[in-house]
Amino acid sequence: MSKSIFREYAESLVIAVVLALFVRTWVFQAFKIPTGSMEPNLLVGDHLIVNKMIFSPAVTTLERWMLPRREIRRGDIVVFKYPDEPERDFIKRVIGLPGDRLELRRKTMYINGSPLAESYVYLAEPPSDSAGVTDDRREFFGPVTVPPAQYFMMGDNRDNSEDSRYWGFLPADHIKGRAMFIYFSYEEGGAMADVFRDVRWERLLDIVN
């Protein structure tokens, strides 16, 4: 009898571990915001859940019917492998889609000749008064055309973001998933005694957009 109970517990534990590994590998991933490049929309210490299945290809008709997959859209906030160091994960916003012609003029992004409305952008400094083009990529960049199967990524905190202006286009196969919501947020740097005070309770379960 005891062997049977032990076997049931062992089987349940193995199944739970396999399911956890499946979810971790294929479905969802936890991600912690390490820098201020997405401020003020995402803060250092925000912990996110990332949907890893939404952009994955559907092999069968049943998969397409059952699972909420879609194409990558402009404005999506995604976690991806940093092209220069694939072992590192970055998080940025999709600005340029394949085939788009992009140009940054005095901190305003133009897509195919039209200014892009970006209510999410934060500028630490206003655009300069200079009418001339400078080599400051925070002010001017491009024009460039996004190649097939690649994307142009930018941080919301435009004056403090290491993004496609500096390291180039992002290959589609480097994208891991779309940020969904904040499940925990903690203002780092406080003492352990301040653990409850430093939790940003108002940010918990906020949808990322």
Tens digit of each residue's pLDDT (9 = 90 or more) over 139-165:
999 899 999 999 999 999 999 999 999
Q: What is the pLDDT of residue 57?
A: 57
56 assigned to active site: no
Is the pLDDT assigned to residue 135 strictly greater than 90?
no
Q: What is the mean pLDDT of the chain?
A: 83
Query: What is the arithmetic mean of pLDDT over 118-139?
Result: 84
Report yes or no: 93 and 120 within 8 Å, Cβ to Cβ: yes
Tokens standing for residue 149: 């199967």
Integer CA distances (angstroms), 182 to 46, 47, 94, 195, in order: 6, 6, 19, 18
Model pTM?
0.80
Q: What is the pLDDT of residue 17?
A: 45
37 assigned to active site: yes
- Identify the top-confidence range among 23-27, 160-164, 186-190, 196-200: 160-164
Over residues 33-60, the pLDDT tens digits come to 999 999 999 999 999 999 988 886 554 5
Q: How confident is the model at residue 5 (pLDDT cuts 50, 70, 90)?
A: low
Query: What is the arithmetic mean of pLDDT over 11-26?
Result: 46
Q: What is the pLDDT of residue 195?
A: 63
Q: How confident is the model at residue 198 (pLDDT cuts 50, 70, 90)?
A: confident
Q: How confident is the model at residue 21 (pLDDT cuts 50, 70, 90)?
A: very low
Q: What is the pLDDT of residue 150?
A: 97
Query: What is the arithmetic mean of pLDDT over 99-120?
Result: 95
Q: How confident is the model at residue 127 (pLDDT cuts 50, 70, 90)?
A: confident
The number of CA neighbours under 13 Å toward the Cβ of 10 is 6
Catalytic residue, candidates 3, 56, 92, 164:
92
Catalytic residue, candidates 4, 12, 37, 56:
37
Residue with tokens 């399911």: 19
Domains in the chain, start-ordered, CATH in brackets?
A: 2-203 (2.10.109.10)
Host H or E run for residue 110 = strand 108-111
Q: What is the pLDDT of residue 132?
A: 65
Report yes or no: 37 and 162 within 8 Å, Cβ to Cβ: yes
Q: What is the pLDDT of residue 129?
A: 76
Report yes or no: 97 and 78 within 8 Å, Cβ to Cβ: no
